[in-house]
Amino acid sequence: MRDLTFRKPAAKSANRIRKKRDWGAIGKRFLIITGYVFTLVLVGTGGFYGVKYLRQADFFRLERVHVENNLRLSEETILAAAEVNPGMSLFDIDPGEVGIRIERLDWVKKAFVERVFPREVRIRLEERSPLAMVKLDHFYYLDREGTPFKLLEVGDRLDFPVITGIDRERFLADPEISRKILPAVLQLMDELNKRRSFTAREVSEIHVDRQGELHIFAANGGLPIRLGRDWFASKLDRLERVYDDLRPRLSMLKGIDLNVPDQVIVQLQPQGTK
């Protein structure tokens, strides 16, 4: 009996099972990709030359600068700081940079700059308002945020209370000055501005002593009045109740102390002193 031998089926030729490539589809994909690349290059090149054309186009040349809310500064001063000139392309004007340059001016707290196409720039200012004068190395205006912002010059208004006792070195070296003492001075100024009797006009000077206590000096005769560091409203209430009676005799007084709770301590000049 013969042994039966089973033959394995012959493997198909690799050439037979290899799929036939679709050269048409490959060519089509190649053309599509090439078209995309060409389009991107064309758009990029066109965009470059388009932007270049817009920057050079007379249609976008600056013709007018409109300035708003400039109560303290002249328009000429603002435009000189802004460094924008007629004929500039609006595309070459950076509103942020222009605003930074304008904010370097003493009176400017914030400058808002806007390009208005096709030919205009608008500048809107938020200016600082002086609340007092502070003596550092020289006299400066102090704004409502407690920032010394302008060195006083000839012709500047001087009808503001003067803050003394803070020299430049102390102001720069002691963080308590800006963190606590100046805010206390501003709080006192706000309280004085609310008054009907003893107002800010009655005060010629606010002095900060080495302990950080506040003393005010009356405009009439320079009478010193000790206020301390806080509770200014209640202390000024007490002062107002007696100040009208004391006014005719201010020259006889050496000082008033309001830093004792619920009291007004009046110090008289020594006998024989005018």
Q: How confident is the model at residue 274 (pLDDT cuts 50, 70, 90)?
A: low
Round the CA-based radius of gyration of the chain to a whole number and report it. 39
Using the structure block, give the residue that is written with the tokens 């006792």.
165
Backbone angles phi, psi at 201, to 5 degrees: -70, -20
Buried b or exposed e, range 28-55, using 16+ CB within 10 angstroms: eeeeeeeeeeeeeeeeeeeeeeeeeeee
- DSSP 3-state helix, strand, coil percentages of the chain (rounded to 5)? 40, 25, 35
Q: Distance between CA atoms of 145 and 183, rounded to whole angstroms?
A: 8
- Separation of alpha carbons 43 and 29, rounded Å: 21
- Among 162-171, 189-198, 249-258, the minimum mean pLDDT is found in 162-171
Place of tokens 């470059």: 48
What totals of helices (H) and strands (E) does the chain contain, helices first?
Answer: 8, 12
| Tens digits of residue pLDDT in 45-88 | 554 444 554 555 678 899 999 999 999 999 999 999 999 999 99
Structure tokens at 233: 């409203």
Distance separating alpha carbons of residues 121 and 83, to the nearest angstrom: 12
User: What pLDDT does 166 receive?
Assistant: 86
Q: What is the mean pLDDT of residues 110-129?
A: 95
* Residues in contact with 206: Cβ distance below 8 Å, sequence separation at least 6, in sequence order: 132, 161, 162, 163, 164, 185, 188, 189, 214, 215, 216, 217
Domains annotated on the chain, with CATH: 60-127 (3.10.20.310), 130-268 (3.40.50.11690)
Regarding predicted confidence, which is higher, 35 or 71? Answer: 71
pLDDT of residue 146: 87
Structural contact between residues 125 and 78, judged by C-beta atoms closer than 8 angstroms:
yes
pLDDT confidence band for 1 (50 / 70 / 90): very low
| Verdict on whether the full-model pTM lies above 0.85 | no
Average pLDDT over residues 245-256: 91
User: Which residue did the predictor score with more confidence, 177 or 191?
Assistant: 191
Give the pLDDT band of residue 240 (cuts 50, 70, 90).
very high
